[in-house]
């Protein structure tokens, strides 16, 4: 059983922010951003690539609901919403989850790495990636 399933079963305590029939939102104990929140489905799916679209819609709706609450009612001026899918994308817990990072003006936090340009052949890349 994964750590998020253990949280859902009550085996591991959590700081619940929101819960409905299909989803659960709770504070990330990493405590690296004020209000860092995780949103998960109550059913176990590894990530966004294997979850049925109807469940994914519910997770995204809860993510939006919590993010809007933070901006509209809690004094934050923005949020970063992040998700990783697979080992090479740095997914560390293999239960679908979205991170909500509440933000304030001049909070001193940086969410995006400033990578140098890699000079891709954009035409070839587009041809490789295009859905046909």
Tokens 């817990």, located at residue: 93
Q: Which residue out of 22, 36, 95, 97 is catalytically annotated?
A: 97
- How far, CA to CA in Å, does 105 sit from each of 64, 71, 76, 100, 102? 20, 12, 8, 16, 11
Handedness of CA 42, 46, 52, 56 (dihedral sign): positive
Ramachandran angles phi, psi of 15, nearest 5°: -100, 90
Q: Any catalytic annotation for residue 97?
A: yes
Contact 24, 40 (CB under 8 A): yes
Would you please indicate which residues are annotated as catalytic (active-site) residues? 97
């Amino acid at each position: 059983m994964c750590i998020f399933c253990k949280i859902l079963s009550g085996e591991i305590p959590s700081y619940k922010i929101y819960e409905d029939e299909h989803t659960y939102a709770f504070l990330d104990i990493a405590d690296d951003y004020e209000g860092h929140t995780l949103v998960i489905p109550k059913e176990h799916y590894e990530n966004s690539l294997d979850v049925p679209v109807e469940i994914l819609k519910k997770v995204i709706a809860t993510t939006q609901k919590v993010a809007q609450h933070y901006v509209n009612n809690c004094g934050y001026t923005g949020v970063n919403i992040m998700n990783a899918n697979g080992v090479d994308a740095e997914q560390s817990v293999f239960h679908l989850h979205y991170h909500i990072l509440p933000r304030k003006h001049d909070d001193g936090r940086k969410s995006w790495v400033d990578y140098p340009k890699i000079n891709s052949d954009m035409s070839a890349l587009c041809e490789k990636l295009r859905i046909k």
